[in-house]
Chain A
Amino acid sequence: MIKNTYDVVIIGGGPAGLSAASAARKYFKDILIIERKEALGGILLQCIHDGFGLTRYKEELTGPEYAFKEIAKLKEDIDVALNANVYYLKSLENDDIEIKFYDMEGVHHLITHKLILANGCRERSNKEIAILGTNPAGVYSAGEAQYLINILGKLPGRRCLILGSGDIGLIMARRLTLEGAKVIGVYEIKNTPSGLERNIVQCLKDYDIPLHLSMSVSKVHGRKKLEAVSVVKVDENMKMIASSEEKIACDTLIISSGLIPMADMTKKLNVLKSPLTKGPIISQNYETNVPNVFVSGNALHVHNLVDDVSYTGERAAYFASLNLKERKYIDVSFDKNITYVVPQRIDINNLEDKIDIAFRVKKELEDVTLKIKIDDVIIFQRKFIKLLPPEMVLLNVKMTKKVFDKLHLEVEENKKV
């Protein structure tokens, strides 16, 4: 039975939502998880490969195993709505949140004091990256191909080409090969791979699958079904070099070109969005500009490790439990080596001793130091042998000063001795 009021409602039953819910049990009585699909676990259920849980559980788990560990932590006192779609969210005058959703039983209407968004991310579509030519069947996103194979047990085709060297693309190259498809190659528009080196080794090199850097798909061919793909080299500005175009016969094109935080829930609440992460702007308390609305996991920004996603869920639940005073924000600034920093701003009226800071760098950097300054004084620094754009860094930083006007991140090359 769905109650009329909750202490906290969590939208999304994937890793972020699950950890938020189990953590929330420490602080709240009435907790509800609203999940769109028929089961909890989220995308983990289709990630049958291993490599999950190394930091959180100190063992190497597959996606489903990780999900079941998280689900097992939920107790019966947590309400779960499955097959449920939230269609209305409104921040009320007293800062409670009004929620309407429907499931297969009907429409549900409730009020919650705190809301945690944990509704994950989506894949960039082939249209967003302008895959031109015809529009035949046989072009899939990596996640969709993963669902077809790992959940439905069906192979999208026999001769596959993969565009994008993100981890999902690499992992799919291996899955496809093991399930009987020929992976002709992985094509990456950038001059460096987007996925982890470890996956390049065990997903591509192990199976002699070539990785073509600085190349992209210029055109797809085929009226109803994919018949061929034209690939092309790109120059340093990622402009296609037409003379290098080459047509490759294949029946499947898999696009793995990045993930974008889902905006369907934040949009309903008019949450401010960051153009850099495409996710919401938050404070160090994981709170959006809408009071009592918190965000965690990939709905916030895209993480590399599910362990980190689970961590943000727990943190969001913790901050949701606090009675925050009137918010006062200062913006976080950063230097040109950094792509983005989350949180985007600090709520200095509600500052704890330690805050989480996540960032990504723009290009590959070697032997550098990250410095965090408040009011031009360094409060934290850490050396990195190597920083790569695909690898997000998540830090827990001690705040030595509670009142300040400026928080700044910079990544500097270490002086050679």
Chain B
Amino acid sequence: MIHHLTCIVCPNGCALTYDDKLDEVKGNKCPRGESFAKEEILAPKRNLTALVKTIYSNQPVVSVRLSNKILKKDIFQAMKIIDEIIIDHPMKLGDIIIKDFLNYQDVNLILTKDVKGE
């Protein structure tokens, strides 16, 4: 049986097809499509970007991201942790807020903007 899937690696959004055995992924314009399909079927992962609160009134929230993908099923748990954080000192874009986020070895929660302070 042939299954359909949209690749979300880049804005091209290739329409992928694969069979039950997963040995032939088609429709991908680049190799990332194939690895995406395999991952998506077995254990789908996602990037996560979010906000954390600060104590500064001129910047009540600051944007953050996870440095790597986490399992899709962990997204809401991740959000719960992120919701609890409050930044209380100036920091720089790229600074790590939480290392090994949710016990993922290679995933850090990092700032995507500076926290300038008052």
Contacts and interface: CB of A to CB of B under 8 A. Distances in A.
Chain A contact residues (Cβ within 8 angstroms of B): what range?
20 to 34
Contact of B49 (A45, A48, A196): A48
A206 B46 contact: yes
B50 interface: yes
A48 B63 contact: yes
Contact of B112 (A64, A196, A201): A64
B11 A305 contact: yes
A152 B61 CA distance: 7
A54 B29 CA distance: 15
Contact of B11 (A179, A196, A201, A206): A196
B35 interface: no
Contacts, number: 66
B6 interface: yes
B46 A178 contact: no
Interface string B72-104: 100100010000000000000100000000000
A151 interface: yes
Contact of A197 (B13, B49, B93): B13
Nearest to A61: B112
Nearest to A203: B8
A202 B46 contact: yes
A353 B61 CA distance: 48
Nearest to B53: A153
A198 interface: yes
Interface string B29-49: 000000000000000001101
B117 to A, nearest CB: 15
B6 A200 contact: yes
Interface string A42-60: 0001001111001000001
A48 B47 CA distance: 12
B104 to A, nearest CB: 17
Contacts of A192: none
A149 B51 CA distance: 9
A153 B46 CA distance: 23
B101 to A, nearest CB: 15
B60 A152 contact: yes
A198 B13 contact: yes
A69 to B, nearest CB: 10
A153 B6 contact: no
Nearest to B27: A385
Contacts of B79: 178
A83 interface: no
Given A178-B79, A198-B13, A65 B60 contact: no
A45 B51 CA distance: 13
A196 B14 CA distance: 10
A83 B61 CA distance: 22
B49 to A, nearest CB: 5
Contacts of A304: 11
B15 interface: yes
A153 B112 CA distance: 15
B63 A64 contact: yes
A345 B76 CA distance: 51
A415 to B, nearest CB: 23
A150 B51 contact: yes
Identify which of A65, A150, A179 gathers the most chain B CB atoms within 10 Å of its CB: A65
Contacts of A62: 49, 63, 65, 112
B10 interface: yes
Nearest to A51: B11
A318 to B, nearest CB: 25
A68 interface: yes
A198 B6 contact: yes
A151 B56 CA distance: 12
B13 A65 contact: no
Contacts of B6: 197-198, 200-201
B25 interface: no
Contacts of A60: 47
B7 interface: yes
A50 B47 contact: yes
Interface in A151-199: 151-153, 178-179, 196-198
Given A178-B50, A206-B72, 14 more contacts: A48-B112, A50-B65, A62-B65, A64-B63, A65-B112, A68-B113, A150-B61, A152-B60, A152-B61, A153-B60, A197-B6, A198-B8, A198-B11, A202-B46
Smallest CB-CB A-B distances: 9 pairs: A153-B61, A48-B63, A197-B13, A198-B13, A153-B60, A198-B8, A64-B113, A62-B112, A64-B112
20 contacts: A49-B49, A51-B10, A62-B65, A64-B93, A64-B113, A65-B112, A68-B93, A149-B51, A150-B63, A153-B60, A178-B50, A179-B51, A196-B11, A196-B13, A197-B13, A198-B11, A200-B6, A201-B8, A202-B8, A206-B72
Interface of A: 45, 48-51, 54, 60, 62, 64-65, 68, 149-153, 178-179, 196-198, 200-202, 206, 304-305
